[in-house]
């Protein structure tokens, strides 16, 4: 069996701790309602939520993740994101507000790693090819809106009720292409900065 590297070991430990915390809770119907998720009584006892376009089901007490309609298990990172969402601080903020990564606790400190793991690789790959970007955004069932300056907005259901919005602008003779990610402000109570980086990275790398 191949040994785990340091990152994988840390991820597995984070999952173990999250499962322990989740297993200690017994108010899942009420918690799911407050998180904007279906009542487990309507899904055969499973907790069901969206993670980057896939529908995951988790069941107490092990909280193993199954991707509905997919023939392979979800990535450990997606299971961890789902667990952290389920354990997030309540109540949620009102819908309709958007924030940048800098507005997460520690977001300013992690700004450069955030860019390196998300929008920088995306811009390097897509460049000015917005047709390619639109095609790949279909992987996430994105809602795409053109911008007056020739760019586009794309919004996806990223995690539970949390949405991500990508603003992408092609370059010209004066400025290079650019991208910006905005988070549903409710994410700030549910995710730490590292989770927010992971979510953005999974989205952007999924467009390459």
Question: What string of pLDDT tens digits covers the 208 residues of the chain?
Answer: 456 688 888 889 999 999 999 999 989 999 999 999 999 999 999 999 999 988 999 999 999 999 998 767 889 999 999 999 999 988 887 778 999 999 999 999 999 999 999 999 999 999 999 999 999 999 999 999 999 889 999 999 999 999 999 999 999 888 999 999 999 999 998 999 999 999 999 999 999 9
> What is the DSSP code string of 107-169?
TTTTHHHHHHHTHHHHHHHHTT-HHHHHHHHGGGT-EEEE-TTS-EEEEEEEETTEEEEEEEE
For the chain, the domain total comes to 2
Residue 91 lies in a domain: no
What is the pTM assigned to this prediction? 0.90
| Domain stops at, among 30, 51, 86 | 86
Q: Does 1 fall in a domain?
A: no
Range of the structural domain that residue 58 is part of: 6-86
Same domain assignment for residues 52 and 11: yes
Task: Say yes or no: 151 and 194 in one domain.
Answer: yes
Same domain, 111 and 63: no
């Amino acid at each position: 069996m191949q040994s785990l590297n340091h990152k994988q070991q840390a991820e597995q430990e984070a999952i173990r701790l999250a499962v322990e915390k989740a297993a200690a809770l017994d108010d899942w119907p009420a918690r799911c309602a407050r998180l904007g998720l279906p009542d487990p009584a309507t899904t055969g006892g499973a907790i069901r939520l969206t993670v980057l376009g896939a529908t995951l089901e988790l069941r107490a007490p092990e909280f193993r993740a199954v991707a509905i309609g997919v023939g392979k298990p979800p990535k450990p990172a997606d299971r961890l994101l789902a667990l952290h969402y389920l354990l997030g601080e309540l109540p949620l903020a009102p819908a309709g507000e958007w924030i940048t990564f800098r507005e997460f606790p520690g977001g300013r400190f992690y700004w450069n790693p955030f860019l390196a793991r998300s929008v920088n690789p995306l811009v390097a790959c897509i460049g000015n090819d917005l047709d390619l970007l639109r095609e790949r955004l279909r992987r996430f069932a994105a809602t795409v809106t053109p911008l007056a300056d020739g760019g586009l907005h794309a919004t996806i259901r990223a995690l539970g009720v949390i949405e991500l919005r990508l603003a992408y602008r092609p370059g010209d003779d004066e400025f290079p292409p650019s991208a910006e990610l905005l988070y549903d402000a409710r994410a700030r109570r549910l995710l730490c900065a590292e989770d927010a980086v992971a979510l953005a990275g999974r989205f952007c790398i999924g467009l390459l």
